[in-house]
Structures are given as structure tokens and as C-alpha cells.
Amino acid sequence: MAIDRYAVFGHPIGHSKSPLIHGLFAEQTRQHMSYTAEDVTPADFSTTINQFFGSGGRGLNCTVPLKELAWQAADRLSSRAQRAKAVNTLAIQADGTLFGDNTDGIGLLNDLTKNHDVAIANQRILILGAGGATRGIIAPLIEQGAASIVIANRTSEKADTIANEFIDLGNVTGCGYPAIADRRFDLIINATSASLTGDLPPLPPRVLADDGICYDLAYADKPTTFIDWANRQGARLALDGLGMLVEQAAEAFYIWRHVRPDTEPVIRQLNERRRPPVA
């Protein structure tokens, strides 16, 4: 029997953990499938997805910088992907059309609420950054009852634009960093790509409320610059995005295979891999 083929497309893609995660899910749930990582530039995207699905590929994940192109390529979108204007999961349907979804937001929520017992209801939330990831996480946070969401970005116009797209859902506003100086937040989510270059967004002091929680969507083998900042601020919890990565992958896996993998052992295994061996 031919093996069902899946892949992640992105650029760069070299260090992607997705093949490992989906390999572990497949082993755990006994699914006969392969999952590879392919370096695909925006210029090659259209040709490459046509080749992939034309030759029998079943599903794709798309990551930076392809999520918007994947959104355009989908024939049908979930409502959350439609809102986010970004797709990270494509699935071929029985009639040959492409279904596009965005599992980033539910991945973050599952990591926060199920894995770490963090309640979202009534929380004052600050999101740093106004890129694709921010678009994916706003609606699920509002649906969980967040009291307010402030999006702060270097380029404040981008934060305003996104806030306006979600304003019908709840209390969402956008601004630049100086405007948050006198405010306090219960949960600060770093959705900038600053951690990838070891940078810290220009956060004013004392924006984190007492007992506040910080979450960096980025992840690395050692604490990110933002996680270090959160610890210096006395955050009750300072989490990075490894759990979200596994949770968003589990949602994609469910869309493709209709089987829900257990994420806990996979997150544990990934965490063990990044811990330095005890001497």
C-alpha cells in the first residue's frame, strides 16, 4: 500500500522540528504516513504545491514566509483561517479541492490552558508584534473570554490595522510600545520574531502585573531573550513556544488523519532533547 505523504514547506526550513513531531504522532497512533521538510521559497510556492498534491500528497503545513500564500491557495477556508488571513495547514479533499486551516491559535490555547492551567477569562492581554502569528491567536483568545487585548508593535500602524480587523469580536486595540508604559497586563505574549535574533522588543518597565504570565511564541534550546526578561520581571510563569508547536501540529494531524495524538509524551521528549545532559 502506498504511504500517505505529508510535508512542511517553509524558507528557511532546515531546523524544523515538525518531521520529528509528526513522526512521533504517527508512531504513537500507528498511522502509515511520511512527513518531510521542504525548503520552498515564495517564488516557487505555487509550482511546488501543484507538484506535491498533483503527485498524491495528502497534506501540508506551511510556515514562514508562506502562510499568506497558503491562504490564497486554499479553495475553502475554516472560519479561523479566514479571520487570520493566514493558513498553516492544507488538506486535500476527496473532490480534489484544498481545505485551509490555521491551527496556531488553538495550539497556543491548548498549551496555555490544558498543559499549564492558565485561565484566559478576564485577563488583560498584551501581544507584542503584528505579524502572521498575531493574526492567528487573537480570535481564540477573545473566544476564551479575555478582558482586553492590546497589540503593541514597532510599526504601530500594523498593530492598528490588525486590531481594526478584530474589533467586532471584542476589546482589541493597537499601539506602539511607548503607549503601553502606564498599563499593566496579566499575560504578555511575545509574537515578534525578535527572539530569533536574540533581541528584545522595546518593553517599558513594570508592564507585567504582579503574578503575571509571559509566553514567547518562539522557542530555542536555551531560554529566549524574552523568557530571560520575564524571569527578571518576576513572572509567575515564563513559557516558550515549544508546547504550542506540538499542539498546533496535533490539530493539523487531526485534520489530516481524524486521529488525536497524545501531545504530552511528545512535548516531554522534545524538552528532554533540549536539556543539557547531566554531567
Contact track, ligand NDP, 9-48, x by CB under 6 A: ----------------------------------------
Asked if residue 152 binds ligand NDP (CB under 6 A), the reply is no
Which range of residues in 22-30, 34-42, 77-85, 132-140 is near ligand NDP by CB under 6 A?
Answer: 132-140
Q: For residues 47-76, which are near ligand NDP according to CB under 6 A? A: 64
Asked if residue 104 binds ligand NDP (CB under 6 A), the reply is yes
Asked if residue 155 binds ligand NDP (CB under 6 A), the reply is yes
Least CB distance from residue 237 to ligand NDP, whole Å?
Answer: 16
> The C-alpha cell of 226 is what?
524574552
> How far is it, in rounded angstroms, from Cα 141 to Cα 157?
22
Contact 65, 40 (CB under 8 A): no
Q: For residues 183-212, which are near ligand NDP according to CB under 6 A? A: 191-196, 199, 201
**How many amino acids of this chain bind ligand NDP (CB under 6 A)?**
28
In the residue annotation, 158 being an active-site residue is answered as no
Q: Please identify which residue in 10, 129, 140, 261 interacts with ligand NDP, judged by CB under 6 A.
A: 129
Q: Please identify which residue in 5, 11, 85, 158 interacts with ligand NDP, judged by CB under 6 A.
A: 158
Asked if residue 217 binds ligand NDP (CB under 6 A), the reply is yes
Q: Please identify which residue in 10, 105, 131, 174 interacts with ligand NDP, judged by CB under 6 A.
A: 131
Question: By Cβ distance, which residue is nearest to ligand NDP?
Answer: 131
Q: Please identify which residue in 59, 105, 241, 261 interacts with ligand NDP, judged by CB under 6 A.
A: 241
> How far is it, in rounded angstroms, from Cα 84 to Cα 191?
14
Nearer to ligand NDP among residue 56 and residue 178 (C-beta)? 178
Which range of residues in 9-17, 160-168, 215-223, 251-259 is near ligand NDP by CB under 6 A?
Answer: 215-223
Least CB distance from residue 76 to ligand NDP, whole Å?
Answer: 22
Name the active-site residue from 17, 67, 85, 222: 67
CB atoms within 10 A of CB 244: 29
Asked if residue 218 binds ligand NDP (CB under 6 A), the reply is yes
- Chain centroid to Cα 278, Å, comes to 31
Strand 59-62 to 185-190 pairing: unpaired
Residues near ligand NDP (CB under 6 A) are 64, 104, 107, 129-134, 153-155, 158, 191-196, 199, 201, 217-219, 241, 244-245, 248
Provide the annotated active-site residues: 67
